[in-house]
Chains A and B, each alone.
Chain A
């Protein structure tokens, strides 16, 4: 068990669909993150939540909408995506004491998203 669980593992959707990615962490962490991983590119940070408050939005298009109802759950709502949005979307969490840049992040196994 990874401690960070993402569902679904795979998602195929059309450009006009609305879907949501779900992340749940069982580690008692206070910070959660969404990353995009594309082939041959470094991990791209999308959003950071600390104690359910969004602390970073890394210039992500509005067709991606995060939601953090509590410190254990994180969602990424998807609407009117483009083919270039096809990627692996990774969720991570960290303890978030002493600064988010001062501790390791623990990742889920991601959702492989394909946009038709």
Chain B
């Protein structure tokens, strides 16, 4: 079965607040993780990635945190905007030369 999952299928956040989307993985050999955003009618869009030799990486308004001890990955979006409404997927590899496995996704709703 899939080794990547998300804790919640949907998440509702007030506009302007920070969003935290969580992901659990089970493969200790995974050393590369990615977050994607998929808006309605579009393909997944790369947001940010992180390798297992890091525990935090920041992008523009986004931060990815990796906790290898508990096999947990999270995506933090600062000051959530209406344009952040989408489904967010985490993905992991199964090893450097192996394929990338995707989770089921969390739909982020932005409340006015």
Contacts and interface: CB of A to CB of B under 8 A. Distances in A.
Interface string B9-22: 00000000000000
A4 interface: yes
Contact of A101 (B41, B46, B89, B100): B100
Nearest to B2: A42
B58 to A, nearest CB: 16
B98 to A, nearest CB: 5
Nearest to B103: A42
Given A40-B104, A42-B4, A42-B104, A100 B43 contact: no
A43 B4 CA distance: 11
B61 interface: no
Interface in A90-116: 90, 92, 98-110
Interface residues of B, number: 26
A32 interface: no
B32 A102 contact: yes
Interface range for A: 20 to 34
A104 B99 contact: no
A43 B89 contact: yes
A76 B14 CA distance: 42
Interface in A58-116: 90, 92, 98-110
A21 interface: no
Interface in B1-47: 2, 4, 32, 34, 36, 41-46
14 contacts: A4-B43, A42-B2, A42-B101, A42-B103, A42-B105, A90-B44, A99-B96, A101-B97, A102-B32, A102-B96, A104-B49, A105-B46, A106-B46, A110-B42
Across chains A and B, which 7 residue pairs bring their CB atoms closest together, nearest first?
A101-B93, A107-B43, A99-B97, A43-B102, A99-B96, A101-B98, A104-B46
Interface of B: 2, 4, 32, 34, 36, 41-46, 49, 89, 93-105
